[in-house]
Chains A and B, each alone.
Chain A
C-alpha cells in the first residue's frame, strides 16, 4: 500500500510539472505549483515513515527495456532516504511559496521543480539498473535545467556546462559499474545482482572505484567536487537547498545501495578509499568554505565537508563489517545515516537563509553585507540556529551525529589490520580539525553577514522575509532541535536499516532513562542532549537573573572603542577575508598555494599601496587542466582525419575491418 501511494504521488508530481508549463503565464502559478508540491511531498513523507513490517514491498511495470521492465522496491533503507528527500522537498516547496514570488522568470523553474523531486524519489525506489540509471539521469538533467534558469549570467552558463559534463561522466561510471555487476549473463534487476555469485577481488575493486567515481561525482567527493560550488549557488535558493541538502544524499544512497547491498560481502581494503577520500574531502571542503566570501558558495563548500564526514563513517562501517564486528559496524552506519539526515535539515535551512538575504539585499557577497540582525531579526535567529547545528555544538543535532562518528573512530584499535589501525586515527584527526574549522567558518559567515554595521546601502535597506519562508525555516530549526534533544528515537528508526545492511546495530536506545544515548556501553560513553539543553537554559537564566539582581540598573551609552583607528566608516570593520587570513596563511599555503602580495610604492610616489591574495585551486590545476589539455591534444590529432583522400577513408574502414577480424581469429 505505501509503495502504491508513493508511485501514484510521483506520477502526480510529474503531472504537476506539466501543469507548471500550462500555468506558467498565470500570476498565481507559482503558489499553485509549489503548494501542490508541498502536499505531495508530505504524502510521500508519510508513506515512507508510516510503520509497516520489515518486508520490502516490490512492484514492477512493463516500462523501459522490454525484457527487463521497471522494478521498484521499498525497503528500510529506501524508506529512510525517501523520508529525507521528501522532508527536504516539503520544506523547499513551502519556502518557495514565498520565495518564488520574487522570481522574474517562473516559467523556467516551475515545470522542472516537481520533476526534479520526482526524479530523486524514483532513484531511491528503483530496483533494477536500468530504472536506476534512467531516474538518475532524469534527476541530473532536471536539476541542470534549474541551474540554467538564470542563464543570462555567463558564470551560470559555465556552471551549467561543468555540471552537465560531470553528471554525464558520473552516469557513465555508474553504467559501467552496473555492467560489471550484471556480468555476461546480464541480470540487470537488483534481485538478480544480489543472487549472482560475486566475482573475483579485482572485479569488486573495479566496481567500487566506478561507484566512487559515479556517486562521488554527484555527492561532491574530492577531486570530483568542482561542479558543486559552481552549480549549487547558480540555481534559485530553494533549488540550491534541494541540490545541496537532498540530491547529494541521493548520491550517498546510490553508494550505500551498490557497495553495501549489491557488491556482496566486503573485504577490509574496500574501506580505505572512502576513508581517505572522505578525510581529504572534509578538510579541503571546509578550508575552501573558510576563505570563501560568496555566501552560497561557502554553503556549497561546507556541503562538500559534510559529504566527507559521511563517507568516512561509511568507510568505517565497511571496515568493521569486513572484519565481522557487527556492533561497531552498526554504530558507524547509524552515524553516517544520522549525519545524512541532520545535514539535509540544517543545510536546507542555511540555503533558505541565504536565499532570504539574497532576496532582501540582492547580495551574495558577505563582504557587502553586515548588520542584518537589525533588519531581519527572525532570519538572523534561524540562520544562527543552523550555524550552531552545523558547527556541531550541543544540544543541536549536528553534535550527536559527529559524536557518533568519533565514537566509531575510537573503536578502530580493535580492527585486526595494521593499515587500518594506523589510517583511521589519522582520518579521525583530520575530521576533528575540520569540525573545529567548520565552527570557525560559520562564526565568520554569521558574524560578517549579520553582525556589525551594514557595509552597503543594499544591506541597510533589507527587509524581513515573508511568512512562508520563515515558517519553512522555523520548522527545520525545530526539527534540528528535536533531533538533538531526543536522538534515541531517530537512532531506533535507523536500526532496521543497519541490521539489514551491515548485520549489526546499536543497542536499542528507546528505553534508556532520561533520553540518553549509549552507543556501546554505559561505562564507555553516553550523551544526553536534553540534560545539556536544560543545563544551558537554566545556567543562562540564572546568570541573567544574577546580573539583573546584583548589577546596577543605571546604564550608560558611550562610543565603541575603535582600536585607535580614527575612521568610523563601515569599511573599517573586521572583514570576511581578514577573519580568514590566519587560516589562509597557515593551512591555505598547503591547500591552495595561497600567497599574499603587498605592493608598496616607494617614498615620493603617490600611488596607493595594494594588497592582493593569490589562490590556486590545486584540484583544478592538478587534475582537470591536464585532462583538458589531453582532450585538446587528441582532438587536434584526430582533426587530421578530416582531410584524408577517399582512398584514405576506404583504407581506414578496411584496416579496421581486418584488425577486428584478426582479433576474432587470435582471440582464444
Chain B
C-alpha cells in the first residue's frame, strides 16, 4: 500500500510536468486553453491523492477548489474573452520549439539536482513532489518568457501557480488557509488581467505585447 501511494503520487506529479511541456509548444489558442484545463485536472487529482494518502480531508477541499476555478471557471472565461476579442482562431508564432523543449528539459534536470540533495532528510514522497513542483514553476516561467501573446502569458502564470499548489500540498501539515488564498490570488490576477486585456484591446486593437512596447517607446 505504501508503495502504491508513492507510485500514484509520482505518476500524477510527473503527469503535471508532462502537461507543462505540452503547454510550452502549443500554438493554438483554443488548444492552449484545453491543455491548461487538463493541467488543472491533473493537479486536482494529484492534490486529491495527497489528501487520501496523507489522511488530510481538508486537501479534498483544495482539490475541489482547483477543479472548480482552474478547470471550469477560468477556462470558460478565457474562452469567452477570446471569442469577444475574436482571436480564438489565431495561431501564435512560437519560435524555436526544439530549443524551448531542450531548455525545459534542462530546467527539470536542474530542479532535480537542486531539490534532491537539499531535502535529503525529508520523506521520499515530499522530495519527489517538491522537485516536480519546482519543475512546473520553472516551466511556467519559461513559458511566460518565450510567449508574446498576453493570453499565453496569463496561462503560463497560472501553470506556475499550479506548481506552487503542488508544492504546498506535497508538504504535510500546510494549513488550508494558504491554499484558499493562493486560489483566490489566482482568480484575482485572472480578473485583473482580463480587464486589462479588454482595455488594451479597446485602445490598441491587439493583445500582442510587442505592440504595447512600441506604444511605450521601448527600445529593442
Q: Which residues of A contact B (CB under 8 A)?
A: 640, 643-647, 650-651, 653-654, 657-658, 661-662, 664-665
- B219 CB-CB contact with A under 8 Å: yes
Contact A645 B218 (CB under 8 A): yes
Evaluate contact between A664 and B218: CB separation under 8 angstroms. Answer: no
Give the distance to chain A from B127, nearest Cβ to Cβ, in Å: 15
Query: Could you list 19 examples of A-B contacts with CB < 8 Å?
Result: A643-B217, A643-B218, A644-B218, A645-B209, A645-B210, A645-B213, A646-B153, A646-B213, A650-B141, A650-B145, A654-B144, A654-B145, A657-B138, A658-B107, A661-B111, A664-B114, A664-B118, A665-B110, A665-B114
Would you call A658 and B138 a contact (CB within 8 A)?
yes
On chain B, the residues within 8 Å of A658 by CB distance are: 107, 110, 138
> From residue A14, how far is it (CB to closest CB) to chain B in Å?
43
Instruction: Name the CB-closest residue of A to B113.
Output: A665
The residue in chain A whose Cβ has the minimal distance to the Cβ of B156 is A650
Q: Please determine whether A643 and B219 come into contact, CB atoms closer than 8 angstroms.
A: yes
Q: Which residues of B contact A645 (CB under 8 A)?
A: 209-210, 213, 218, 220
Q: Which B residues are closer than 8 A to A by beta carbons?
A: 107, 110-111, 113-114, 118, 138, 141-142, 144-145, 148, 153, 209-210, 212-213, 217-220
Instruction: Name the residue on A nearest B103 (C-beta).
Output: A658
Point out the residues of chain A lying under 8 angstroms from B107, CB to CB: 658
Complex CA distance for A279 and B111, rounded to whole angstroms: 56
Identify B110's interface contact among A640, A647, A662, CB under 8 A.
A662
What residues on A are CB-neighbors of B212 within 8 Å? Answer: 646
Per DSSP, are chain A's interface residues mostly helix, strand or loop, or mixed? Answer: helix
Q: What separation, in Å, do the CA atoms of A658 and B218 have in the docked complex?
A: 26
Q: Which of A646, A651, A665 contacts B209 (CB 8 A)?
A: A646
Which residues on B sit within 8 Å (CB–CB) of A651? 145
B141 touches A653 (CB 8 A): yes
What residue in chain A is nearest B107 (Cβ atoms)? Answer: A658
Q: Chain A: which residue is nearest B209 at the CB level?
A: A646
Q: CA of A650 to CA of B153 in the docked complex: distance in angstroms?
A: 10
- Please indicate which of the listed interface residues A643, A657, A665 has the most CB atoms of chain B within 10 Å of its own CB: A665
| Shortest distance between the CB of B81 and any CB in chain A (Å) | 19
Contact, CB under 8 Å: A661 / B110: yes
CA distance A654 to B140 in the complex (A): 10
Q: A644: shortest Cβ distance to chain B, in Å?
A: 7
Tell me the interface secondary structure of chain B in the complex: helix
Bound Cα distance A661, B107 (Å): 10
Q: Which of chain B's residues have a CB closer than 8 A to the CB of A653?
A: 141
> B210: which A residues are within 8 A, CB to CB?
645
CB distance from A515 to the nearest CB of B (A): 71
Q: How far is the CA of A640 from the CA of B220 in the complex (A)?
A: 11
Q: Across the two chains, which residue of chain A brings its CB closest to B141?
A: A654
Write the chain A residue with the least CB distance to B117: A665
Write the nearest CB–CB distance from A660 to chain B, whole angstroms: 9
Q: Give B210 Cβ to nearest chain A Cβ, in Å.
A: 8
Within 8 Å by CB of A647, from B111, B113, B114, B145, lies: B145
Contacts of B141 in A (CB 8 A): 650, 653-654, 657
Q: A654-B142, A662-B110 are in contact. List 5 more A-B contacts (CB 8 A).
A: A643-B219, A644-B218, A650-B144, A658-B107, A664-B114
B148 & A647 in contact (Cβ 8 Å cutoff) = yes
> Which residues on B sit within 8 Å (CB–CB) of A644?
218
Chain A residues near B218 (CB-CB < 8 A): 643-645
A653, closest chain B residue (CB): B141
Q: How far is the CB of B189 from chain A (nearest CB, A)?
A: 15
CB-nearest residue of chain A relative to B106?
A658
B154: shortest Cβ distance to chain A, in Å?
12
In whole angstroms, how far apart are the Cα atoms of A658 and B217 in the complex?
29
Docked Cα-Cα span, A658 to B145, in Å, equals 13
Residue in B113, B142, B145 with the greatest tally of chain A CB atoms within 10 Å: B145
Bound Cα distance from A657 to B110, whole angstroms: 11
Looking at the assembled complex, report how far the CB atom of B160 sits from the nearest CB atom of chain A, in whole angstroms.
11
- Expressed in whole angstroms, the minimum distance between the Cβ of A198 and any Cβ of chain B is 32
- Smallest beta-carbon distance A228→chain B, Å: 44
Among B141, B210, B217, max chain A CB count under 10 A is at B141
Q: How far is the CA of A408 from the CA of B38 in the complex (A)?
A: 84
| Top-3 shortest CB links A-B | A665-B113, A643-B219, A645-B213
Whole-angstrom CA separation of A553 from B142 in the bound complex: 105
- The closest CB in chain A to the CB of B147 belongs to A647
What's the Cα separation between A452 and B66 when bound, in Å? 93
Closest B residue, CB atoms, query A661: B114
A585–B153 Cα gap in the complex (Å)?
A: 71
A643 CA to B213 CA, complexed, in Å: 9
B193 to chain A, nearest CB (A): 12
**Which residues does chain A contribute within 8 Å of B209, judged by CB atoms?**
645-647
| B contact residues around A647 at 8 Å (CB) | 145, 148, 209
Q: What is the chain B residue whose CB lies nearest that of A666?
A: B113
Q: Return chain A residues, CB-CB under 8 Å to B111.
A: 661
Select the residue from A643, A646, A654, A657 with max chain B CB neighbours within 10 A. Answer: A646
CB distance from A216 to the nearest CB of B (A): 42
Q: How far is the CB of A271 from chain B (nearest CB, A)?
A: 45
A661 to B113, CA, bound (A): 9
Tell me the bound Cα distance from A451 to B81 in angstroms: 91
Query: What's the least CB distance linking A627 to chain B, in Å?
Result: 29
Write out the residue numbers on chain B whose beta carbons fall within 8 Å of the beta carbon of A661: 110-111, 114
> Which residues of the partner chain A approach B213 to less than 8 Å between Cβ atoms?
645-646
Q: Which residues of A contact B220 (CB under 8 A)?
A: 645
Provide the bound-state CA to CA distance between A653 and B138, in Å: 11
B216 to nearest A CB, angstroms? 9
A584 to chain B, nearest CB (A): 53
Residues in chain A near residue B138, CB distance under 8 A:
657-658
Q: CA separation between A658 and B109, bound complex, in Å?
A: 12
How far, in whole Å, are A665 and B144 apart by their CA atoms in the complex? 24
A219 and B183 CA atoms in complex are apart in Å by: 57
For the complex, give the distance between the alpha carbons of A582 and B148 in Å: 73
Chain B, Cβ-Cβ closest to A657: B141
Bound-state CA distance A662–B148 (Å) is 27
Q: Which residue on chain B has the smallest CB distance to residue A644?
A: B218
Which single residue of chain B is at the shortest CB-CB distance from A662? B110
The residue among A640, A650, A662 with the most chain B CB atoms within 10 A of its own CB is A650
Q: How many angstroms from the CA of A318 to the CA of B11 in the assembled complex?
A: 67
* Alpha-carbon separation in the docked complex, A650 to B212 (Å): 15
Residue of A nearest to B213 (CB): A645
How long is the Cα–Cα vector from A651 to B217 in the complex, in angstroms? Answer: 19
Docked CA distance A664–B119 (Å): 13
Residue of B nearest to A663 (CB): B114
Shortest Cβ distance from B159 into chain A, in angstroms? 14
User: Which residue from chain A places its CB closest to the CB of B112 in the assembled complex?
Assistant: A665
Q: How far is the CB of B122 from chain A (nearest CB, A)?
A: 16
Chain A hits for B110, CB < 8 A: 658, 661-662, 665
Q: How far is the CB of A638 from chain B (nearest CB, A)?
A: 14
> Which of chain A's residues have a CB closer than 8 A to the CB of B153?
646
Complex CA–CA separation, A662 to B145 (angstroms): 19
Q: In the complex, A650→B145 CA distance in Å?
A: 6
Q: In the docked arrangement, what's the CA distance between A296 and B140, Å?
A: 64
Nearest CB on A from B80, distance (A): 24
Complexed CA–CA distance, A651 and B153 (Å): 13
Min CB–CB distance A657 → chain B (angstroms):
7
- CB proximity of B149 to chain A, nearest CB, Å: 11
In the complex, chain A residues whose CB is within 8 Å of the CB of B144: 650, 654
Q: Which residues of B contact A654 (CB under 8 A)?
A: 141-142, 144-145
Give CA–CA (A664, B110) in the complex, Å. Answer: 10
Give the residue name and chain of the B residue nearest to A645 (CB). Answer: B213
**Chain B, Cβ-Cβ closest to A655:** B145
